[in-house]
Chains A and B, each alone.
Chain A
Amino acid sequence: MEPYLRKENLAVGALLVLGFLAGQALVPALNPYLQAQVFTVGINIILAVSLNLINGFTGQFSLGHAGFMAVGAYTAAVATTRLGLPFALALLMAAAASALMGVLVGAPTLRLRGDYLAIATLGFGEILRSVLYNVDYVGGATGLFGIPRLTSWAWLFVLTVLTVLAVKNLVNSTRGLALKAVRDDEIAAEDVGVDTTQTKVLAFVLGAVFAGVGGALYAHYFFVIQPTTFSFLKSFEILVYVVLGGLGSITGSIVSATLLTLLSAALQQLAALRMVLYGLALVLVMIFRPGGLFGTREVSFESMGQLWRRLTGRQPPAPGPAPLSPLAPGSPDAPDLPEVTGGGTAQDR
């Protein structure tokens, strides 16, 4: 068993504490526009990492992530505005409701494969949106207004970190191996004794829970939620983060969710052009770098250290320096990890 108090874990812990304190001091001082960007980045990281658990690590192509986000957002908003419950309880309810929805959607549809699953989950998202649209209790087409702003920097930071750590630890655990086995070859995984259904449902439900939490944070930062916010375009948007970052790379999801959120804020005047660029990026990345910018690689102190040693020549260099991709200027390559082409999306059947 690995010791928890390794140098690396301590360093990560110290960085997290520093980051938290820095944000605690800085974020309230930002102007409202920049502050909103910080919160959007955090929420998008939660959404991207949780979708990556389903799409990237388990290979189950879901296009319904916005639906789970909506379940969380509406549950939490109803809990705080209609039922007058505290935020912590609202968050728990959001998580529970989206978990339940994850089971309800996942258990039957996960029998479907590849693009059929994609379409079924897309259909689920649209059904949910249509229902929200027509239920007056949650505001119908106009949505829910006057949700109190309870999402603070502390909530955002803690829940974002929690999501990332939970997904990271899960995919690095024995169960994580089962997830990747299901992704790489479902039949072979079944043969070596992986309960594929249970594994898929687990990934689906956990992904849904974090998406629900992301939705709850969203609702309690932006005051207003409307059914149209959670249409399949939102699911596509989250998918873009995951795919561009790399299906199967948590680091990739974090980096691309951050960069694309900031980029789209910068291009806000050019809404349509932004989406054209997204589309172009999707096509080009799929053609030239189908695993996404990071592939399945992760950035850690270890990989950074290796890169540092290689760059400074303190260690005999690995045979032939791995070239940096032109698409990812300065992407920290971890040279000793084998490059997995195709991003492990091998489910070609």
Chain B
Amino acid sequence: MTSILQQIVNGLSLGSIYALIALGYTMVYGIIKLINFAHGDVYMVGAYVAFFAVTLLSVNLGVALLLAMLVAALLGVLIERVAYRPLRNAPRIAALITAIGVSFILENGGIIVLKPDPRAFPDPIQWQQIRLLGGSLVLSTQDLFIVGVTVVMMLLLVWFVQRTRTGRAMRAVAYDMQAAALMGVDVDRTVATTFAVGSALAAVAGVLVGLYYNRVDPLMGLIPGLKAFIAAVLGGIGSIPGAMLGGYLLGVIEALVGGTRFSLFRDAISFALLILILLVRPAGLLGRNVREKV
């Protein structure tokens, strides 16, 4: 029983990270209907920025985090401007292929510039272990930190989307881009903001992963990027609460599977879950079912 509880605790920190990346996916998908394959690589860049900030500039973790968010946001805006905006009215598949191209560039550009070998992410904080239930359940302050940072980010995002003018513009553009443009919303700027915010959240996830696994490498965005996409689809792509739910659900499921003898099939199970959701409830758990117009 406690071992299951332990797996759930582990799953929650993993899930926080998936949820943070999934938020970026879901926002971008919600607004321009593009699976941004390069999103996972933006997360990698964020992790490296924090890595260099801590090792070379020897700043503290908070500053490193802000720096990573800033650089990732700029990168996200740049990618949108150069690669996706020219294709906004093109067939969706063209944009998807472009996203794959951008992902190639970032990953392999990363291998060239940053060298392919993984590096040890410095851990400036002394984490404590908290033992609960008579020592059988280990809770690290690191887990609490990861979940805490994630929750703060999510609350900020919800506030931003629900309460600010820009957030309202984002919702309007996501609902109907043409109509929003007619009502005077600057669509280009709103899409750019969406990329900036999503990329900044991905950077936070990258830093948290760096801390969690104590390492960064240029291909670290590949699999978590796909997993986060699964999380977004699971929760209902385009829905912000859905991305959070999907992230945590996927994290917990993976951790639970990881504790059984099927642990080697963890990735397969995530993808099987994805296909199952797509077949049974394509709109995701919290998504609205949109009927196709004939």
- A278-B104, A281-B101, A347-B91 as given contacts; A133 in contact with B264, CB under 8 Å: yes
Q: Which residues of chain A have C-beta atoms less than 8 A from B233's C-beta? A: 116, 119
| A126: interface (CB < 8 Å) | yes
Q: How far is the CA of A111 from the CA of B102 in the complex (A)?
A: 28
Residues 79-97 of B contacting A (Cβ, < 8 Å): 82-83, 86-87, 90-97
| A17: interface (CB < 8 Å) | no
A-side interface size class:
35 or more
1/0 contact string of B256-282 vs chain A (CB within 8 Å): 000000001101100110110011001
- A276-B112, A279-B108, A342-B90 as given contacts; A109 in contact with B98, CB under 8 Å: no
Binds B, one of A26-34, A151-159, A199-207, A283-291: A283-291
| A81: interface (CB < 8 Å) | no
Q: How far is the CA of A156 from the CA of B282 in the complex (A)?
A: 41
CB of B74 to closest CB in A, whole Å = 18
Q: Which residues of chain A have C-beta atoms less than 8 A from B101's C-beta? A: 278-283, 286
| A54: interface (CB < 8 Å) | no
**B96 contacts A118, C-beta separation under 8 Å:** yes
Q: How far is the CA of A122 from the CA of B230 in the complex (A)?
A: 11
Residue of A nearest to B79 (CB): A283
Q: Which residues of chain B have C-beta atoms less than 8 A from A273's C-beta? A: 108, 112
**Chain B interface, number of residues (Cβ within 8 angstroms):** 43
Q: How far is the CA of A112 from the CA of B274 in the complex (A)?
A: 12
Residues 69-113 of A contacting B (Cβ, < 8 Å): 108-109, 111-112
- The secondary structure that dominates the A interface is helix
**A61 contacts B96, C-beta separation under 8 Å:** yes
**A290 contacts B94, C-beta separation under 8 Å:** yes
**A275 contacts B107, C-beta separation under 8 Å:** yes
Q: Which residues of chain A have C-beta atoms less than 8 A from B229's C-beta? A: 119
* Other-chain residue from A111, A119, A278, A345 in contact with B91 (beta carbon distance below 8 A): A345
CB of B78 to closest CB in A, whole Å = 13
**B275 contacts A286, C-beta separation under 8 Å:** no
**B92 contacts A114, C-beta separation under 8 Å:** yes
| B228: interface (CB < 8 Å) | no
- A286-B98, A286-B101 as given contacts; A124 in contact with B90, CB under 8 Å: no
Residue of B nearest to A105 (CB): B275
Q: How far is the CA of A276 from the CA of B101 in the complex (A)?
A: 8
Would you mind naming 15 contact pairs between A and B with Cβ atoms under 8 Å apart? Answer: A112-B282, A130-B268, A134-B265, A187-B294, A272-B108, A272-B111, A275-B108, A276-B104, A279-B101, A282-B100, A283-B102, A286-B87, A286-B101, A287-B98, A342-B94
Q: Which residues of chain A have C-beta atoms less than 8 A from B109's C-beta? A: 272, 276
| B5: interface (CB < 8 Å) | no
**A286 contacts B267, C-beta separation under 8 Å:** no
- A280-B101, A345-B94 as given contacts; A109 in contact with B278, CB under 8 Å: yes
**A348 contacts B92, C-beta separation under 8 Å:** yes
Residue of B nearest to A133 (CB): B264
Q: How far is the CA of A127 from the CA of B267 in the complex (A)?
A: 7
Q: Which residues of chain B have C-beta atoms less than 8 A from A263's C-beta? A: none
Residue of B nearest to A140 (CB): B264
| A7: interface (CB < 8 Å) | no
**A123 contacts B275, C-beta separation under 8 Å:** yes
